[in-house]
Every structure is written in structure tokens, then in C-alpha cells.
Structure 1
Amino acid sequence: MIADLPETAKLDAALALGERVVACYRHILDTAMTDVPICNPALKIAATGFRTYRGRAFGIVTTPWFMNLVGVDLPEGAPGAPAAIGTILGLPAGNVEFIGGELDAIGRVDSCALLSPVFEFATMEAALEIAEEAARAYFDPATLEPTPAPAAVVNRRDLLRGRFQRCEEPSG
């Protein structure tokens, strides 16, 4: 539908930005992270679930040394406020703590560490499955556990009128 074109364009911009982030991390893997012992040799660099939210691109980046939720300014969008250590950003599933950083050719990248190091993954497929689930979880409010109901309050008037649930001990 024509009405969906702006959202599709935003989605494409977020996906393209995710691929640019992947290219930056591939360069880091090929240079600074070569033969670093915290790297899982079974993993590669991947971007998962990149989407536009509040004018920024968010998604999961998987590398041989970490899996992070990242937020990146879209090239055509207004830059967001820089994240400091412990900056809380509101996402559909709740508030998430990010730290700010910089990537060459990208600029500011806010990151929330999900896993580091990532030795628990035997295959890239297993890592991508978790990344896809994480991307869904952060952007689907239904994934949150329901808030527990508040404890029943018994006021004095109800107590005197017998309007409370009795906890009787079993007779023996």
C-alpha cells in the first residue's frame, strides 16, 4: 500500500545502517581482534532485527566477542542526545541501560551488552536464533512478564464486618 511506503523506507534505512555497522565490526575483527582469545571462532559478524524506533535504528549486533543491542542515529534523522554510561532509553518492552561509543564511518553507537564473551554458542545459527529472539523481546511489550497484582488490603471496617479471606489451619 502507498500508505506503508514511509515506514518501509524507514525499515530499509535501518537495515542498511545495520549492514554498515556489520562492515565496521568486520574491519575490527580483521584488524584489532585478530587472534584475541576472547573471540569465539564459530561466530561471524551479523546484524539482526534492525528497525527504526523514535528516529533511530535499533538492532542486535553479534560478533565473535559480544552480542549487543545497539542504537544508531539514522543518517537522514536528527541526532539523538549522546548516551553516557548508564543512560536509560525507553523501548517498547521497557527501559534499557546503554553506554555511548563511537564507530568509524558510523558515528555514535549506543550499546547494551547482552552477552560477552560468547563462548556458549557452538554455531552461528544458534547465536542468530538468540539474537532474533532478543530483537523481538525488546520491541514487543507483550514479552514482558505481567506485573504481579498488588496484595489485597484489608481495612479495619472490612475486618470487623468479616469481609476478609480466612486462612484456617487444618484440624488434626
Structure 2
Amino acid sequence: MSAATIGERLASIYRAIAEGAMRGMPICNPDLEVQAVGFRGHAGHAIGVVVTPWFMNIVLAEVAGGPALPPARLGDVRAVSLPAGRIEVTVGELDGFGRLDAASLFSPMFGFADPAATYQTAAAAMAALFKPDGYDVPPPARDRRALLFGRGSSAP
């Protein structure tokens, strides 16, 4: 099972939850929809962002035939190394899926106007996680003289 397939499976499960138990709940933003964004393989596991009307989480799951996630109890917090650095995920379990380690990006989701905004944010988060140090380019060098005279920063 590919990482993209795992993302699709998670989206399907969360859509059922959104249409069932979470329908009409005050924590939900009714203008949003469930999305699985940027799912890819990493260290033999699947990682991506799940967006729902009530949360946006980075999630990490096992891939069939791949290595198991490290042993842990539900609720444990563990570190995951990514190119941009380490993040902490909480070990969880999703009915109908199994173990799913997650790190919250946003909850609740009332700061988002529409699914396009949540998609763009989730895609940007995934891109940042896989860039060394989280940057596209190094920050510009500071010129002390320019700073002293109010000209901001300048590149060498």
C-alpha cells in the first residue's frame, strides 16, 4: 500500500466521522472538508497532513510490508526526525485504521475560510518539513553598517 493510498484511506475514514459523529458539532468549521495532503514515504512509513473541519494534523502511519513504528503506548509522545528537524508526535489509534501518530498543526479550524486555504497551508507545512532547516534559501546576511543607518539588511 503506497503512502498516497494510506492518505486516501484516512480521508475516507475521517469523511465518515465528519458526516456522522462530528456533524453539526460546534468545534467544526462547516465551510471546510476532509483532505489528505502531501502523503509520501519517509523512513519506510507514510507521512502527510490530514485536514478535517475540526483539526489539521501531520500524521505518520505504517506502510504494509514496511518497518513497524517504534513500540509505544497510546498517548506517548515521541520524536520523529525529518529533513527540517525533529517533531514530536503523539501515539494514537484510529478505529478502522490502527496506529496513527500525529502532531497538531491547527485546532480548531475557524481561522480558515475554505478548502483551498487549508490545502495550501497543509501543502506548505509538508514542503517545509522536507527542506533542510525548513528554508528554501539561507536568510540574507546582515550588514551592520546598513542596520546602523536604517537601511535594513543587505546581501554580501
The Cα offsets for residues 69-113 of structure 1, whole Å up to 9 and x where unpaired, read as 000101221211145532111111100010011112321000000
Aligned residue identity for 1:90: S
Q: Higher Cα Rg: structure 1 or 2? A: 1
- 2:126 corresponds to: 135
Does the 8 Å CA contact 2:83/2:133 hold for their aligned counterparts?
no
- Post-superposition offset of 1:147: 9.8
Unaligned segments of structure 2, at least 5 residues: 140-156
- 1:160 corresponds to: none
Unaligned segments of structure 1, at least 5 residues: 1-11, 149-172
Question: Which residue among 48, 56, 60 is the counterpart of 1:67?
Answer: 56
Percent identity of equivalent pairs: 42
TM-score (norm 1): 0.74
More helix by share: 1
Q: Which moved more, 1:78-87 or 1:68-77?
A: 78-87
User: Structure 1 residues 64, 82: CA separation in 2 closer, same or farther (over 3 Å shift)?
Assistant: farther
Structure 1 outlier segments of 4+, above 4 Å: 144-148
- 1:112 corresponds to: 103
1:51 aligned onto 2:40: yes
Does the 8 Å CA contact 1:82/1:108 hold for their aligned counterparts?
no
User: Root-mean-square deviation (CA), in Å?
Assistant: 2.0
Aligned residue identity for 1:68: N
Does the 8 Å CA contact 1:82/1:100 hold for their aligned counterparts?
no
Aligned residue identity for 1:123: D
Does the 8 Å CA contact 1:92/1:140 hold for their aligned counterparts?
yes
Aligned pairs (5 A) from 1:1-172: 13-83=2-72, 84-144=75-135
Aligned residue identity for 1:70: V
